[in-house]
Structure 1
Amino acid sequence: MFDLLLSAAVQAGSLRRLEHIRRQPIENQEQVLRQLLRHARSTDWGQRYGFGENISAAAFAERVPVSTYEQLYPELERVLRGERDVLWPGRPRWFAKSSGTTNARSKYVPVTAESLHQCHYRAGRDMTALATHFYPRERLLAGKTLSLGGTHGPNPFRPAEPRSRAGDVSAVIMQQLPWWAEQMRTPPLELALLGEWEEKIERIARHVLQQDVRTLAGVPTWMIVLLRRVTELAGAGSICEVWPRLRLFLHGAVAFGPYRELFRQLIPDARMRYLEIYNASEGYFAVQDQPDSEDLLLLLNHGIYYEFLPAEQWDSPEPRPLPLSEVQTGRTYALVISTNAGLWRYLVGDTVRFTSLAPYRLRITGRTKHFLNAFGEELVIENADAGIAAACQATGAAVRDYTAAPVWFAGAAGSRGGHEWAIEFLSSPSSLARFTEVLDTTLRQLNSDYDAKRHRDLALAPPVVNYLPAGTFEAWLAGQGKLGGQHKVPRLLNSREVLEAVLHLHK
């Protein structure tokens, strides 16, 4: 009965909050901005830009510069070194460490008490409310949620201060969960926060064998590894024999399309459901609020004020993002956020496309630095993921990960440019030639610029696909010191650095 009472309690507040977001989106955002400015008015940043003057959204956009991580880093370093009241009141104890996909170094993002409780935990409750509302008969909270995350350690800028910690945002969240939430999840913290991933997967797999797991939560790539190991240890035909009440996977971090067919194979139960979340080190941005649609509802009262930078301004020295009220469907925008962790007009690096304006729903299309445009083809990750998914479906394949880069005019394609792909398969395609053909055809159908360049093979040669053995990308990540957690393989790049590195490992 406790699970039913808990479901009702979580749903009561969250479903009302989500409905308020749908009905009054602009009002929610106006209120968030007022609260952020009022709270930060006495900080160094707030005094520099006059937050105490009760400024409007237009004045805020006029006064405060848009910043990348690198541009904001001098202030963030002050916070990391323990200075108070720099970007947000107080001195944060926790920092989310991400892979630094915009450059080679890791990024350290403050996780304040406000961002933890008003953003990450609030959105987590919202996602739980939606799941139990959509699937009440499954009694998801009566069993365990198996969550995979990273680890944390001392803040490298203050190693002598034991209370200051840095690590994957998943580890930061798990370490501070309230007792009732910790009771619902597995494995225990001492296993969940292990840093060595091979040991972590093995020990977690053995621990959860006999548990009543009903929900999975995590990144698809690592969840695949764990499910296979659990099935192997149990000597079972599928994971359904191990966890007969498994019904839901809450997934995020990477697009799910290329993995969908593989999860159907790993969990061959028609009652299994999938819901997507859009969260990052910087915050929890959106949730799938409709069970039969992959569009994500933008979370507008979770301590984040949003602006959106049109694609034509990504390289502008004076970018002018649009407020939520001015976005259009079908266009690609870079996400700009101001948060209750002290990130002000901060370029996350993600790109999105709105599918609805009433309410505001979107899809993640990629990253500002991760696309292929060496020949004017403007290929984004959304296109690539869809092409990979179609090729998998046509050939019975399953992909663990991939990366792609240009082949320049003087390269293997001769007088034409092209794209070279390196793909690690979990299940091999029936024909690599057929896989390549469907990938190419799907990309042409989805992207008119790519199609124009591929017309009669004049500007772009057909794609070249390299088959990588299992473990190649894991070895590359390990060599970069980025194995596990939220670290991801860059999928589309206009340089060949990553592609050449993984191909070298294959030789």
Structure 2
Amino acid sequence: MEFLTKTLSLIFHSRLKKIDSFARNADRIQQQQLKSLLTEARNTEWGIKYDYKNITNYRIFRERVPIQIYDDIKPYIKRMINGERNLIWPSAVKWFAKSSGTTNDKSKYLPVTSEILQRCHYQGGKDVVALYLRQNPYSRFFSKKGLILGGSHSPSSLNRRVNCGDLSAVLLQNISPLVNLIRVPEKKIILMSEWESKIKAIVDHTINEDVCNLSGVPSWMLVLIKSILQQTGKEYLTDVWPNLEVFFHGGISFEPYRSQYQALIPSDKMHYMETYNASEGFFALQDDLSVTAMLLMLDYGIFFEFIPVSERDKINPIVVPLEEVEVGKNYALVITTCGGLWRYQIGDTVRFTSVSPYKIVIAGRTKHYINAFGEELMVDNADKAISRTCALTGAKVKEYTAAPLFLLNKAKGRHQWLIEFEKAPDSIDKFSALLDQSLKDLNSDYEAKRYKEISLQPLEVMVARPGIFYSWLKQKGKLGGQHKIPRLSNDRTYLEELLSLNRDVFSL
């Protein structure tokens, strides 16, 4: 049956040649994206407000259109939901992606236009398959089944005109019927809202299928895998699905979970491929399985800009186009899209590892970092440090979060880490010391603040009781799908809520 996949993979040949051209023609491709977006929206209310007809280059666009956050566009979103058209994008919008994201609202609603669906999200899905098959020519992708673990909110009506749901639910609701021929479980199961019932239904309906590929968020896919192993009594997932060959993952860093997946899927034929697909758009994907960085996808109807992290809190920050980014620097991501978002900060930070072609790693969220003492600790530092420390101690970390602690009567403090272990280390003190050293090795600012304990004392690791993060998310109605544990926070709100839960249980 490999013949089927090899035959169908030929349809991707011309597309792969175009992707290969990104390294040579990046600036031209991006300028074409901007020109096309401005032309399409020139007669919208937004386009008239900023006189898009007379924007002839990027410099004018940058000077004329201010940087946006969700609160800036929320009045337009409300009007779109109530049926008004031609506001920030010309086509009718019938779907909105519901996301918690980095906003003061409990939920935000992002327009999912037909253009962002086809040019961006679905094209991204096709390119993932194309690039994977190039790297694994012996795949049996099209002759087996794929399991997609989607969001926790099934589509629902905002009013008689429009619907909303997690992005994954919106994508599945509108996906080509042909894809459903190689996907499990059936749509009504994957779109169930109640997370625990959905997990049970997925297990019941997939354990006897011949699954070769998985797609989802690493933390929640791990919950599903363990439920499958518990029900089947098997030790390894390959005992259930012997033809398993790839996990397409995204949403959070895979590094803290890598060792757990390798333990549960002990196969040299297993591959892991990262994608960067958010409610706002599909941005990047891993085009080389031996390199963790992802290729920035330049022709998805998105124009990219970047704010150096050092500028993010300024009223008028420096903003640079793709051609001006530097390798090794952290940037806040700004996007202009065929989904009607204009110079919009999505709340993520990225770091470039290459500019020919442009490749990135996700550094974290603009609100999820610790810089209480000038240490500039980003999520990617924390994830890598956890992974290194686990490798050195044999521990396995299930979930974690960290926040600063300010020490009274001292001009210094420390970081407190609450960690739920899948497998605890022999010594928490040794784990703490090694984690501290790993952070020094990975982050020069952290190392400088730790030098002779100038402003930072050694970090403190507190052990969380089993299931506390799951309970915390359940308490907030955020089980499954796209919901994520906030790894780092510059204040103690999340940590104190979790510590309170931890104390309540241990006091019983």
Q: TM-score range by the shorter chain?
A: over 0.9
Q: How much does 1:256 deviate?
A: 0.8
Q: Could you tell me which residue of structure 2 aligns to residue 442 of structure 1?
A: 438
| Partner residue in 2 for 1:422 | 418
From the superposition, tell whether residues 319 and 76 of structure 1 become closer, same or farther in structure 2 (CA, over 3 Å): farther
Corresponding residue for residue 153 of structure 1: 155
Corresponding position of 2:37: 36
Matches of 1:82 and 1:309 in 2, distance apart? Answer: 34
Give 3-state SS (helix, strand or coil) of 1:137's partner: coil
Q: Deviations over 1:424-463 (max 9, x none)?
A: 2222223222221111000011111111111223421111
Alignment of 1:311-390 (within 5 A): 311-390=309-388
On the 8 A contact 1:40/1:88 being kept in 2, the answer is yes
- 1:94 maps to which residue? 95
**CA shift digits 1:333-365 (9 cap, x unpaired):** 100000001000000110011111111111110
Task: Output the amino acid matched with 2:282.
Answer: Y
Letter in 2 for 1:441: Q
Give the equivalent residue in structure 2 for 1:488: 484
CA distance in 2 between counterparts of 1:57 and 1:152 reads: 39
Query: Please, which moves more after superposition, 191-200 or 450-459?
Result: 450-459
Q: How does 1:400-411 map to 2 (within 5 A)?
A: 400-410=398-408
Q: TM-score, normalised by structure 1?
A: 0.96
Show CA shifts across 1:239-290 (max 9, x none). Answer: 1111111011111000111111111111011211111101100000001111
Relative to structure 2, which stretch is displaced further, 431-440 or 493-502?
431-440
The match for 1:115 is 116
Counterpart of 2:286, as a letter, is Q
- Encode CA deviations 1:17-53: one digit per residue, 9 max, x unaligned: 3112222111110111111011111100001111122
* 1:266 paired residue number: 264
3-state DSSP of counterpart to 2:169: helix
Q: Deviations over 1:186-240 (max 9, x none)?
A: 1111110011111111110111101111011100011111111111211212111
Q: Deviations over 1:163-186 (max 9, x none)?
A: 511111011111111121121211
Residue 8 of structure 2 aligns to which amino acid in structure 1? Answer: L
Question: Percent same amino acid at aligned positions?
Answer: 44
**For residue 20 of structure 2, what is the aligned residue in structure 1?**
19
Distance across 1 between alignment mates of 2:247 and 2:149: 12
What is the aligned counterpart of 2:9 among 1, 7, 25?
A: 7
After TM superposition, give the deviation of residue 304 of structure 1 in Å: 0.4
C-alpha distance in 2 between matches for 1:429 and 1:81: 54
Residues 155 and 170, structure 2, Cα contact 8 Å, conserved in 1: no
**C-alpha contact 1:418 1:460 (8 A) present in aligned 2:** yes
Query: Residue 79 of structure 2 aligns to which amino acid in structure 1?
Result: R
For residue 430 of structure 1, what is the amino acid of its counterpart? Answer: D
Residue type at the aligned position of 2:218: P
Q: How far apart in 2 are the matches of 1:463 and 1:43?
A: 53
2:155–2:166 CA contact under 8 A, matched in 1:
no
Q: 1:66-105 counterparts in 2 under 5 A?
A: 66-105=67-106
Question: What does residue 256 of structure 1 align with?
Answer: 254
User: Residue 506 of structure 2 aligns with which residue?
Assistant: none
Deviation at 1:482, TM superposition (A): 1.9
Report the 3-state secondary structure (helix = DSSP H, G, I; strand = E; otherwise coil) of the residue aligned with 1:17.
helix
Q: Aligned partners of 2:406, 2:101: CA distance in 1, in Å?
A: 27
Deviation at 1:80, TM superposition (A): 2.2
Structure 2 CA distance, aligned partners of 1:391 and 1:125?
Answer: 37
Unaligned runs of 5+ in 2: 504-508
Residues in 2 aligned to 1:463 and 1:99: alpha-carbon distance in whole angstroms: 30
Task: Return 369-378 or 137-146, whichever deviates more.
Answer: 137-146
Quote the residue 2:475 is aligned against: 479
Contact 2:235 2:264 in 1 (8 A): no
CA offset digits 1:85-122 (Å, max 9, x no partner): 11001321111111133435211110000000000000
Please report the RMSD computed on the Cα atoms of aligned residues, expressed in angstroms: 1.5
Structure 2 distance, partners of 1:265, 1:303, is 39
Give distance in 2, aligned partners of 1:455 and 1:317: 33
Alpha-carbon separation, structure 1, partners of 2:30 and 2:126: 20
In structure 2, the CA distance between the partners of 1:416 and 1:56, relative to structure 1 (3 Å rule), is closer
State the secondary structure of the residue aligned to 1:87: coil
The one-letter amino acid of 1:467's match is V
SS of the aligned residue for 2:289 comes to coil
Shift of 1:470: 2.5
Report if aligned partners of 2:5, 2:139 keep a CA contact under 8 Å in 1: no
Match of 2:203 among 197, 202, 205: 205
Q: Secondary structure at the match of 2:178?
A: helix
Q: C-alpha displacement at 1:155, in angstroms?
A: 4.2
Q: Does the CA contact (< 8 Å) of 1:99 and 1:482 recur in 2?
A: no
Separation of aligned partners in 1, 2:181 and 2:138: 21
2:500 alignment partner, SS class: helix
Gaps of 5+ in 1: none
Match of residue 180 from structure 1: 178
Structure-1 separation of matches of 2:4 and 2:242: 21
Moved more, 366-375 or 95-104: 95-104
Q: Is the Cα–Cα contact under 8 Å of residues 468 and 501 in structure 2 kept in the other structure?
A: yes
Q: Number of paired residues?
A: 500
Give the partner amino acid of 2:196: E
